[in-house]
Amino acid sequence: MGYLYLLLAAFLWGLIGPVSRLAFQEGLSPLSVALFRAVIAWALFALHALLLRQVRLLPRDLPALFLFGLVGVSLFYGAYQLAVEQGGAALASVLLYTAPAWVALLSRLVLGERLDSLGLLAVALTLLGVGLMGLGGGSGVKAPLPAFFFGLLSGFTYALYYIFGKLYLPRYATPTLFLYALPVGAVGLVPFVEFAPLSPQALLALLFLGAFSTYGAYLAYYAGLRRLPATRASVLATLEPVVANLFAFLLFREVLSPLGYLGAGLVLIAVLLSVRR
């Protein structure tokens, strides 16, 4: 059962890019999609936390949670949506998975963890993979430099979830953290959003992103974690860019060049090496 939960989480996360592109086609900007995704997910996490009475937070942790909301929600959600808009869902999903390389570096700098030869190899493969994708490009890439900047930024901010989780997850349940982090992240996005009427199709896409690809995916992932070791969970999560590439091709005919797919493969190998490490 644990495998099914984790496969479901990877599947739902992999749909973020393709579903976001459907919202873009309805006239929504990337940052407005990020904002609505955060707000809808927050409503569900808030209800969850209230029902389980998991709302208590120590005052001394509020500044860290405020910062996490700005970086882990405003910056992460926004950067990923901009990466999807600029480079397509396929490219954005692979660049997001540079996160393990960022984790290896940040763990050394912030947590003082040793960066061994396997970690260095994973970082090197990630850099080589991203370089090959930059040389190869693909039909989904409209503006390579912004696409890579926002894609790598999303991977970096995604890596901060690991650092933050190592420091605060032992003290709080997941609904409690997102109860406070998501509204801060949403407020951080508001100044950059121009509100416009929502079509029924846009509303459906936003509801899917908030309810299923955010709230539901986290619930499925942590349900799987309770049943399987974290290393197996991390390996199964690498199916996310595979799902994103598949649906990006089926819905929008997005493809990378042969060099691009070689680079994507190196990034995924680096992820698996990081998991093994």
| Per-residue model confidence as pLDDT tens digits over 59-73 | 888 898 899 999 999
Bridge partner residues of 180 (DSSP): none
Q: Is the pTM here over 0.85, yes or no?
A: yes
Q: How many domains does the chain have?
A: 1
Residue numbers of the domain that contains 64 = 2-276
Where would I find the H helices in the chain? Answer: 2-14, 16-25, 30-51, 62-68, 76-87, 89-96, 99-106, 117-136, 144-168, 174-189, 200-207, 217-225, 230-237, 239-252, 258-276
Q: So what's the pLDDT on residue 266? A: 85
Give the pLDDT confidence of 171-226 residue by residue, as tens digits.
788 888 899 999 999 999 999 998 888 999 999 999 999 999 999 998 888 788 77
pLDDT for residue 37 is more than 90: yes
Q: So what's the pLDDT on residue 140? A: 46
Residues with Cβ < 8 Å from 257, sequence gap 6 or more? Answer: 136, 137, 138
Q: So what's the pLDDT on residue 277? A: 60
pLDDT for residue 236 is more than 80: no
Rg for the chain, CA atoms, rounded: 18
